Amino acid sequence: MTRLRSSLGWICAAVDLALFEVLLARGVFFGVAHVASFAIATLAGLALMRGSLMDRAFMGITAAAALLLRGGVLAMFVKTFHVPTAWAILPAIAVSAAAIKCGAFLENVSAENRWRTLALAGAAYLALLRLVYLGQAELFPEEAYYWNYAKHMDFGYLDHPPMVAWLIGAGTWLFGNNEFGVRIGAWLCWLVVAFFTFRITRNLLDETTAWCALLLVSALPFFFGVAFIIAPDSPLTACWAAALFFLERALVAQQRSAWLGVGIAMGLGMLSKYSIGLVGLAAGLFLLVDASSRRWFLRWEPYAATLLAFALFSPVILWNAQHDWASFSYQGVRRMGADPRFSTGELILSIVSVLTPTGLAGLLIFALLKNADTAIRARQILFMKVFTAAPFAVFAFFSLRHAIKLWWTGPIWLAALPALALGLWQFRQRASDRWVRALWLPTVMTCALAYGVFFHYLALGLPGIGYSTQMNLLPVGWRELARQVDLVEEGVEDEMKMEPLVVGMDRNFISSEMAFYDKDKPRGFLDTAGINLFGKKALMYEFWFPAKEQIGKAIVLVGFSENDLTRRALARHSERLGPVVRGDLARDGKFIRHYFYRVAYGYDSERKSDDREKSDSQD
């Protein structure tokens, strides 16, 4: 059987290659050609394959996963390494064949090692999937905005601490100003998350459960997302995982030296995102409710860890002191002073999006889990519950009168991952436990395939499916938009004998993307300003491009709505305005959407309106 499958695999690979070359020669786009050739060869192979229907179904799923992985490899060799497409298919076929071979191996794993092997294979596949697509998908607008952080390196920023900028700065220094260089920090942060998640799960439960936790931290949407999209949540999650590990060693295992790790993890976490302070809140609560831990109130180590954390955080405090406490005010007073809004329902939906419905069901089972008979197991369960429930309670209370963002709660579920992983393979034989356990593997496989389809869409598109107009959510078209805007810039520069600014007509997304994809990158950020020049909020662009320093400049205004370019504020801040012009965006022959631009000449930071209140009301 093994020899027959091997021969069949070689035949399918040859058919795949031949069909791809034929389709390519006929002018079919390579992103479509490789899907078609693989699908035909694989379906033929499955039809000839011996075995049960379940065997064929499993191999079909494995083949689909291999196809999505090889799409990233093909895109990487063609777009990044500039290998001729006819040759680039060879490593892509090799990778897909290796993936299918690994899938066939998993069918024969012994029951004793089944979960460990499946977890390791799943985690490795998802890590590799992210890695090959890191440089193939265009940046999300938030990523481009944080890239601008790195181009204006500092110890603090209005809306976040500086760690994300430092990671992007290091990545682009090593790999260049490209998508891979921007995102590699997120991928490396996930390795830290995976390491500490495995270690803490092994400490609290056992090694098999630790491998299952590794699979969950690879596959659940939040953890997969922060391992690909560079954002403050990427280093925050890494530091959160590290802090939990060292706190478990200090509070449960009673290791005094672990407090050093707590201080470092918390300090680096506060340099990433302020919300890691919730870990400190949970630690204080655990000290109060766990009798064995109260002795730490009389020891010097926790206080030294606190001082160390604030010492690492001190650059952010200094930056805020020099900027009228701007960031602390933005994240604190501004959010608390926002209009009341009940968002508890959104909070629950955010948990579903972060953990999947299966994860939420497992979380409910964990919440009802009773303490174990032994004292040590009882303290381990208490640790997981306190470090999950305390941060969640803060978000739940906040949601009663304030808006909740989708991924805010993501890191707090790290403390519950060991229990969720246990439910993947070993919960007690209650009906609810069996039901959740039966759903976990299909959930993980569905997530893995969905991620691959999403990545393939971003990098190469999907056969027969057009591109979305929502470029903020599905970033396809930013590179083409920047190319066309560059041509407009050149025309204005020839006309005015000075390089114009580019301003996106939203808060910061368009400007950030134009800066990153400017043909003069990495210097495009120097002439890409924000809408603050026309009286709107633009976050850090208000610091980077003060309005009074731009007087007299020509500005290329870019927006996705024609109405954005007919606001009265534009005329009040300009000597004259050019006409509104519509442009079209497309990629690989597929239309994406329209955009609009116009040129403002002779910018003036002072309004020229003689009826300010009336004109403001019409903006």
Residues 438 and 552 in one domain: no
The verdict on residue 133 lying in a domain is yes
Residues 201 and 275 in one domain: yes
Residues 150 and 101 in one domain: no
614 has pLDDT over 50: no
Tokens standing for residue 92: 């892509």
For residue 332, the model assigns a pLDDT of: 80
Reported as a pLDDT band with limits 50, 70 and 90, residue 616 is: very low
For residue 52, the model assigns a pLDDT of: 66
φ and ψ at residue 465, rounded to 5 degrees: -120, 130
The verdict on residue 114 lying in a domain is no
Are 205 and 422 spatial neighbours (Cβ–Cβ below 8 Å)? Answer: yes
Reported as a pLDDT band with limits 50, 70 and 90, residue 46 is: confident
Residues 133 and 187 in one domain: yes
The verdict on residue 194 lying in a domain is yes
How would you label 90-107 residue by residue, b for 16+ Cβ within 10 Å and e otherwise?
ebbbebbbebbeebbeee
Residues 280 and 386 in one domain: yes
What pLDDT, in 10s, does the model give residues 452-473? Answer: 999 999 999 999 999 999 999 9
The total of other beta-carbon atoms located within 10 Å of residue 408's CB is: 18
What pLDDT, in 10s, does the model give residues 137-177? Answer: 999 999 999 999 999 999 999 999 999 999 999 999 999 99
Are 582 and 572 spatial neighbours (Cβ–Cβ below 8 Å)? Answer: no
Residues 78 and 22 in one domain: yes
The verdict on residue 117 lying in a domain is no
**Out of 114-128, 419-433, 455-469, which region has the weakest mean confidence (pLDDT)?**
419-433
Centroid of chain to Cα 491: 37
For residue 405, the model assigns a pLDDT of: 87
Residues 535 and 606 in one domain: yes
**Which residues form the domain of 13?**
2-108
Nearest to residue 458, comparing CAs of 198, 143, 7?
Answer: 143
Tokens standing for residue 76: 């990487």
55 has pLDDT over 90: no
Q: Which helix (H) or strand (E) holds 202?
A: helix 179-204
Question: Which residue carries 């305005």 as its tokens?
Answer: 577
The verdict on residue 471 lying in a domain is no
For residue 292, the model assigns a pLDDT of: 92
The verdict on residue 332 lying in a domain is no
Reported as a pLDDT band with limits 50, 70 and 90, residue 431 is: low
Residues 134 and 46 in one domain: no
Reported as a pLDDT band with limits 50, 70 and 90, residue 482 is: very high
Please give the DSSP secondary-structure letter assigned to residue 369: P
Mean pLDDT of 490-515: 95
What pLDDT, in 10s, does the model give residues 197-247? Answer: 999 999 999 999 999 999 999 999 999 999 999 999 999 999 999 999 999
Residues 143 and 263 in one domain: yes
Residues 278 and 206 in one domain: yes
Q: Of 454, 488, 516, which one is at a domain's C-terminal end?
A: 454
Q: Of 108, 138, 160, which one is at a domain's C-terminal end?
A: 108
Q: Which residue has the higher pLDDT, 318 or 404?
A: 318
Residues 264 and 371 in one domain: yes
Residues 356 and 208 in one domain: yes
The verdict on residue 466 lying in a domain is no
In whole numbers, what is the pLDDT of the chain averaged over residues?
91
Mean pLDDT of 403-428: 88
What pLDDT, in 10s, does the model give residues 346-399? Answer: 999 999 999 999 999 999 988 887 656 677 888 999 999 999 999 999 999 999
Q: Which helix (H) or strand (E) holds 529?
A: strand 528-529
Nearest to residue 441, comparing CAs of 356, 350, 363?
Answer: 356
What three-state secondary structure class fits 608?
coil
What pLDDT, in 10s, does the model give residues 321-353? Answer: 999 999 999 888 777 766 788 889 999 999 999
444 has pLDDT over 70: yes
Q: Of 76, 108, 140, which one is at a domain's C-terminal end?
A: 108
Alpha-carbon distance of 404 to 106, in angstroms, equals: 41
Are 403 and 338 spatial neighbours (Cβ–Cβ below 8 Å)? Answer: yes
Tokens standing for residue 30: 């390579």
The verdict on residue 468 lying in a domain is no
Are 233 and 223 spatial neighbours (Cβ–Cβ below 8 Å)? Answer: no
Query: Could you write out the three-class secondary structure of 73-115?
Result: HHHHHHHHCCCCHHHHHHHHHHHHHHHHHHHHHHCCCCHHHHH
How many domains, in total, are found in the chain?
A: 3
Nearest to residue 312, comparing CAs of 352, 261, 360, 353?
Answer: 261
